[in-house]
Structure 1
Amino acid sequence: MPQNTPRLNLPFLQPSQAQKHVTHNEALRKLDLTVQLSLTSLNSITPPAVPNQGDIHALGATPTGDWTGHAGKLAAWIDTAWHFVAPETGWLAWDLSSGSLKVWDGSLWIDPPISTDNLPGVGVGTDHDSTNKLSVRGAATLLSHEGHGHQLKINKANAGETASLLFQSNWTGHAEMGLSGSTGFSVKVSADGDTWNEALRFDPATGLASGSAVQASANDTTAGRLMRADYGFGPGNLLGTVSELAGAPTGAVIERGGNASGDYVRFADGTQICSGSLSAVTCQTPEGSLFASQTSNWTFPMAFAADSTPAVSGNGGVSGRFLGCDAPSTTQVVIKVLSTIADATEAAPTVLALGRWY
């Protein structure tokens, strides 16, 4: 017959054994030490100066004093003496120092392994519910990296669903950003949590922005709205090529240019100014009571709009001369330099035409 039990090493009572109560009491002492095990300290190496009856310490790797040579064992103070028991793999104990459950893995007291897969829910500082499977109550929530970057992913089943961040005050939603009912990223705001205003929406194909926070048209001057590049003007499009669509400007504010016929300036509102300097002429050819000299046709450096009749003016080149002209077309005009006296002095007239390019 074996002397001890195979698991807890409790002594058996033997046939014809004297003082059976000693063996029985030793077994009870060992049961008292190991059953419903609670530990006063964990990984201890120095015995307390005044131990308490029934205290049990889980010894560390290099115990000293009365614990020397009992590394990894349990040291129990019973009846003014230390009693040592070697724990078996799988023993559970409550650590009084940390208020947590521990398990002996054969070499260390560790936290019991816990599966975190397919949990019904997790509440940190609060309760979770059927909708909020993960609930956290605290001053802050930290999601940090593990040596590199970190992504927070919010996935939805299909394009028509919602994947967003909702910001609330006293459980009333006031701001939301994410993919709301589409794959376009949007930012929405609400004063009461019921009526929502889509302030910004970004087209996933082009990246262009729209929404109530952005100009709705070129004439939209609502205070506080963001100006669209194609509706507003700045250093990038102040000077450049002017253009229009159905009478509305779509290009730069001012366009300047020139050629052999002269210079021109076009404005976004449709105004066009052409200027030029003609060949030098004299005033010796009589015309009625005046003297005149006719120049070649002036072709405008930039044509005017078909329904625009430009106003032409200029200077005869020297004092006493003035300009006259036949009715101008959209592309050219015939200029006459007139003088009240015959004058053989050659002088170059300057001309100016004002009209519209659309």
Structure 2
Amino acid sequence: MSQSTARHALPFIQPAQAQKHVTHNEALEQLDLLVQLTVEAFDASTPPGAAEDGQIWALGPAPEGVWNGQGGRLAAWVNGAWIFVTPHMGWRASLGTDLRVWSGSDWRAPDLPDLQNIDGLGIQTNFDATNRLAVASEATLLTHDGAGHQLKINKNEATDTASLLFQTGWSGRAEMGTAGNDGFAIKVSANGSAWHYALLANSTTGALSAPNGLTVTGNISGSAVTQSATDTTPGRLLTTQAGAAQAYRRGNILGTVSQSGGAPTGAVIQRGSNSNGEFVRFADGTQICTHGLNSNSSGEVTWTYPAGFVSSPRVVGTPNSSNPILFAPRFTARTHTSVDMSVFRSNDTRTAVFVETQAIGRWF
């Protein structure tokens, strides 16, 4: 008959043994240490300065002092002395909530149970039948494993919903995804019950729509908008200052005309006047100047145009007189800014008479 148990080497009371209580107490002492095993430290290497009866340390591979040579064993302080116990594979020991298992060479955290096909998982909160995965945290990180990363949200049928729902106080405020069809949508709500679509993307064509309006504060570019001041390609979105394709309206038909590279950049018609007469400019470059002035019987009278031309214009004049005598105006020294004028009678002499003058040309 063996003198100790097979697993924990607890001493048996032998037949006709004297002082049986000593053997019995030794076995109880070891059971008291090993049942519901708790330790003061794992991988301990230095004995404490003072220990209480029943305290146990799980020693590291090379402990010091009175523990020297007892690496990997359990050191227990009992009745004023150290006793050492060799752990066996699978023994469990805890340090508070830190539970470890003896692997045969060290104390290790136990392997987690298989997480496949579990009912749910709650991290710092509880999951339920709808929310099988629940996380209470300031952030949730999903990162790559050396390449890209996809978050997949799969639905059963097109009429189902696959989306991300943003809530305030458990009340929906914004949602993005495929809700009720396979088109992508972004919608918002102020109260969680009345929803408004902000953007809709057609799953067949990719066309994007904003059913409740759209405000753009930045520039719009790309081949869908006019490319230059002279671009009149059908179907392109007109941008401001698009020149020949500009959408004129009551607010900008009249004003200051201007041009850049031969293309209008301002209003359609500009009218003005000064002491030299009146003028009208058109966006196509045409300019007409008019004035009324008296000729001089002793020489030429210079008319400075109220607005300059790009080159010498055509000038005509009509004498305004009740006298039946035939008058003939003559214009000389024409430039892009002025012209000299005389009026002659039929006898080829200059005369003083009021003349309505007109100059027609281009301002660019």
Instruction: Decide: shared fold, TM above 0.5.
Output: yes
In the TM superposition, residue 183 of structure 1 has moved relative to its aligned partner by: 3.5
- Say if 2:78 is the partner of 1:89: no
* Cα distance change, pair 228–95 in 1 and its aligned pair in 2 (3 A): same
Tell me which protein shows more strand as a share of its residues: 1
Write out aligned runs for 1:244-283 (5 A): 253-255=242-244
* Cα distance change, pair 213–47 in 1 and its aligned pair in 2 (3 A): farther
The structure number with the bigger radius of gyration is: 2
Structure 2 equivalent of residue 62 of structure 1: 62
In the TM superposition, residue 153 of structure 1 has moved relative to its aligned partner by: 1.3
Write out aligned runs for 1:63-82 (5 A): 63-82=63-82
Q: Deviations over 1:293-320 (max 9, x none)?
A: xxxxxxxxxxxxxxxxxxxxxx995433
Find 1:102's aligned residue among 100, 103, 116: 100
CA distance, structure 2, for counterparts of residue 40 and residue 164 of structure 1: 51
Find 1:320's aligned residue among 310, 316, 320: 316
* Cα distance change, pair 45–150 in 1 and its aligned pair in 2 (3 A): farther
* Preserved contact between residue 184 and residue 203 of structure 1 (Cα < 8 Å): yes
- Say if 2:172 is the partner of 1:173: yes
Structure 2 equivalent of residue 52 of structure 1: 52
SS in 1 for 2:28: helix
In the TM superposition, residue 229 of structure 1 has moved relative to its aligned partner by: 5.6
SS in 2 for 1:36: coil
In the TM superposition, residue 95 of structure 1 has moved relative to its aligned partner by: 1.4
CA distance, structure 2, for counterparts of residue 35 and residue 146 of structure 1: 45
CA distance, structure 2, for counterparts of residue 264 and residue 55 of structure 1: 99
CA distance, structure 2, for counterparts of residue 209 and residue 227 of structure 1: 18
TM-score of the two chains, using structure 1 as the length reference: 0.63
Write out aligned runs for 1:1-358 (5 A): 1-96=1-96, 99-115=97-113, 116-138=115-137, 140-143=138-141, 145=143, 148=146, 151=149, 153-158=151-156, 159-204=158-203, 207-212=206-211, 214-215=213-214, 224=215, 237=227, 239-242=229-232, 253-255=242-244, 318-320=314-316
* Preserved contact between residue 313 and residue 361 of structure 2 (Cα < 8 Å): no
Amino acid at match of 2:10: L
Structure 2 runs not aligned, ≥5 long: 246-260, 270-281, 287-310, 319-327, 332-358
CA distance, structure 1, for counterparts of residue 76 and residue 89 of structure 2: 19
SS in 2 for 1:29: helix
Q: Deviations over 1:258-294 (max 9, x none)?
A: xxxxx99699xx9997679xxxxxxxxxxxxxxxxxx
In the TM superposition, residue 185 of structure 1 has moved relative to its aligned partner by: 3.0
* Cα distance change, pair 7–264 in 1 and its aligned pair in 2 (3 A): same
* Preserved contact between residue 174 and residue 191 of structure 1 (Cα < 8 Å): yes
Q: Deviations over 1:43-82 (max 9, x none)?
A: 1111111101111111112111111111111111111111
* Cα distance change, pair 34–184 in 1 and its aligned pair in 2 (3 A): same
* Matched residues, number: 276
SS in 1 for 2:315: coil
Structure 1 runs not aligned, ≥5 long: 216-223, 257-262, 277-314, 323-339, 344-348, 353-358
Aligned residues: CA RMSD: 4.2
Q: Identify the range of structure 1 (12-21 vs 162-171) with the bigger mean alpha-carbon deviation.
A: 12-21
* Preserved contact between residue 154 and residue 164 of structure 1 (Cα < 8 Å): no
CA distance, structure 1, for counterparts of residue 131 and residue 199 of structure 2: 27
Q: Identify the range of structure 1 (63-72 vs 7-16) with the bigger mean alpha-carbon deviation.
A: 7-16
Amino acid at match of 1:74: L
Structure 2 equivalent of residue 356 of structure 1: none
Q: Deviations over 1:310-340 (max 9, x none)?
A: xxxxx99543389xxxxxxxxxxxxxxxxx7
